[in-house]
Copies of this chain bind each other. A is one copy, B any other.
Amino acid sequence: MIIGLDVGGTKALGLLVDPADGTIHGRQKSSSAGDGPTLVRTLATMVNELRSDHAITGIGLGIAGLIDRSGTVRYSPNLADLVEFPVTAELTAAIGHRVVATNDATAGTWAEAKLGAGRGCRDFVYVALGTGIGAGFVINGELVLGSNGFAGEVGHMVIEANGPAHITGQQGPWEYYASGNALGRLARDAAAAGAFPAVVQRVDSIDSVTGYHVVELMRSGDSDALSIFDGFCKEVALGTSNLVISLDFGRVVIGGGLADIGEPLRAGVEYWLGELLLGREHRPEPEVVLAELGSDAAALGAAYYAIT
């Protein structure tokens, strides 16, 4: 058996997994709140509950942020207490078993490669659309960590060099246009311009409009919502096209919280990728598919990463 842990900004998830087929035999949830030592105690309790009397061959940890190859968190906006805290070493000491750690999107990519939408593809990109944009890569059949372990920070790829300033200080990064936050902003901009009346009827203030409203109204057939969402899919496809033209991925796996939108997102990205990807008359178009493992992806992938 293997154990995977996923530490996000507010929650931690632990899974006991059979590596032969990915079957989940145990599941633990907890808050991820508190300082480093508190989190180590939380995770140690989860591991001890999960392992019970099973023989454990690997324990992996997926964490939101920049995790270096030694397993140290170098930067994490949502887990500030973990930065430079030796979480893998401390957890290893607390449970008496070696722990390895990597970025949560990187872990999710490996889960999709082993058990989900990446199976059978040696060169794919996993695009995780959430509050921001992360990614992971499988190239030549191997998980890509990068020189330091920081591969996948594609949300900071600039696609509009003279575009608006983002909270990162960059002008025009992909994340500004194609994240969950961006979908909300597109909706508020449309509402403020009078181009999205259906949403204005549903909220007290335009400030409270989010991407969820776009999705809900799109599902009920509102043409303004459909138009906003189509523009959003074009932005997702533009950055994806940059990755595909550079690395010639045969498949694009769409994950992250926005993947819950499902087929409209997949079909929209597929359409615009076909329009934007240069040389479609010379190259097979990559498959565009939805991730299959949902919110278990990072924990599952962390478990498999421990035995890779």
Contacts and interface: CB of A to CB of B under 8 A. Distances in A.
A94 interface: no
Contact of A75 (B150, B169, B247, B279): B279
Interface in A231-273: 238, 241-243, 245-251
Nearest to A143: B140
Interface string A135-150: 1010110101111111
Interface stretch (A51-59, A108-116, A158-166): A158-166
B282 A74 contact: yes
Interface residues of A, number: 53
Contacts of A246: 135, 151-154, 157, 243, 246
A194 interface: no
A168 interface: yes
A224 interface: no
Contacts of A173: 278
20 contacts: A66-B279, A66-B282, A75-B282, A139-B142, A139-B144, A140-B142, A147-B286, A148-B248, A148-B250, A149-B248, A150-B248, A152-B246, A152-B248, A153-B246, A154-B245, A158-B276, A161-B172, A161-B238, A169-B278, A246-B246
